[in-house]
Amino acid sequence: MRVFKNLDYFRKVSPEHTKPTVIGGLVSLCSLTVIVVLFMYEINDFARTKIKKDTYVGAIDRQGEEFIMVEIEQRSSVSAQSKEEVNKHLFKRRLDKKGEPLDQIDPNFDSSDNVVQLLSQAMENDEQCNIKGKIILERVTGQVLLNFNNKIGYINELQRSNPNIANKISFSHIVNSLTFGDVSQQVAVRKRFGNNEHTAFDMMEFIDDALYAEDSSSKDYFYFYKLVPHIFIDEVHLEQYSSYSYSLNHNAKQAQLSNFPQITMIYDFAPVNMKITKQQRDLSRFLVNLCAIIGGVFVIFGLINRFLLSVKETFSGEGSR
pLDDT tens column, 194-252: 888 888 898 887 887 767 777 777 788 899 999 999 999 998 888 999 999 999 999 88
Q: pLDDT exceeding 90 applies to what percent of the chain?
A: 17
30: left (phi over 0), alpha (psi -120 to 50) or beta: alpha
Residues 38-59 have a mean pLDDT of: 84
- Which residue type sits at 33? T
> pLDDT grade, residue 106 (50/70/90)?
low
Count each helix (H run) and each strand (E run) in the chain, helices first: 8, 10
Q: What is the dihedral of CA 187, 190, 196, 198, to 10 degrees?
A: -60
How many Å apart are CA 133 and CA 53, to the nearest integer? 32
Q: pLDDT exceeding 70 applies to what percent of the chain?
A: 81
> pLDDT grade, residue 83 (50/70/90)?
very low
* pLDDT score at 60: 53
pTM more than 0.75: no
Going by C-alpha positions, the residue among 86, 95, 91, 223 that lies closest to residue 147 is 86
Instruction: Fill in the DSSP letter of residue 15.
Output: G
* pLDDT score at 58: 66
* pLDDT score at 82: 39
| Sign of the alpha-carbon torsion through 95, 96, 101, 104 | negative
Quick check: 37 pLDDT over 90? yes
Q: Are 251 and 264 in contact (CB under 8 A)?
A: no
Q: What angle do CA 28, 33, 37 make, to 5 degrees?
A: 150
How many Å apart are CA 251 and CA 260, to the nearest integer? 17
Mean pLDDT over the full length of the chain: 80
Rounded to whole angstroms, the maximal C-alpha distance in the chain is 117
- Which residue type sits at 208? D
Residues 124-144 have a mean pLDDT of: 85
pLDDT tens-digit series, residues 163-185 = 887 777 777 888 888 999 888 99
* pLDDT score at 281: 83
Residues 59-86 have a mean pLDDT of: 58
Where is pLDDT greater, at 214 or 53?
Answer: 53
Instruction: Fill in the DSSP letter of residue 17.
Output: G
Residues 17-26 have a mean pLDDT of: 80
211 contact partners, CB below 8 Å, separation of at least 6: 250
Q: Are 242 and 231 in contact (CB under 8 A)?
A: yes
Residue 241: φ, ψ to 5°: -135, 160
pLDDT tens-digit series, residues 273-318 = 899 999 888 888 889 999 999 999 989 998 998 888 888 888 776 5
Quick check: 92 pLDDT over 70? yes
Q: What is the dihedral of CA 65, 224, 83, 137, to 10 degrees?
A: -10
* pLDDT score at 99: 79
Which residues of the chain form beta strands (DSSP E)? 50-57, 67-76, 90-95, 128-138, 142-146, 173-180, 219-234, 239-254, 262-269, 272-279
Residues 28-48 have a mean pLDDT of: 90
101 contact partners, CB below 8 Å, separation of at least 6: 93, 94, 95, 130
Q: Are 246 and 225 in contact (CB under 8 A)?
A: yes
What single string gives the DSSP state of each residue in 93-130? EEE-TTSPBPSSPPP-TTT-S-HHHHHHHHHHTT-EEE
Instruction: Fill in the DSSP letter of residue 151.
Output: G
Considering 11-25, 85-99, 105-119, 259-273, the range whose residues carry the highest mean pLDDT is 259-273
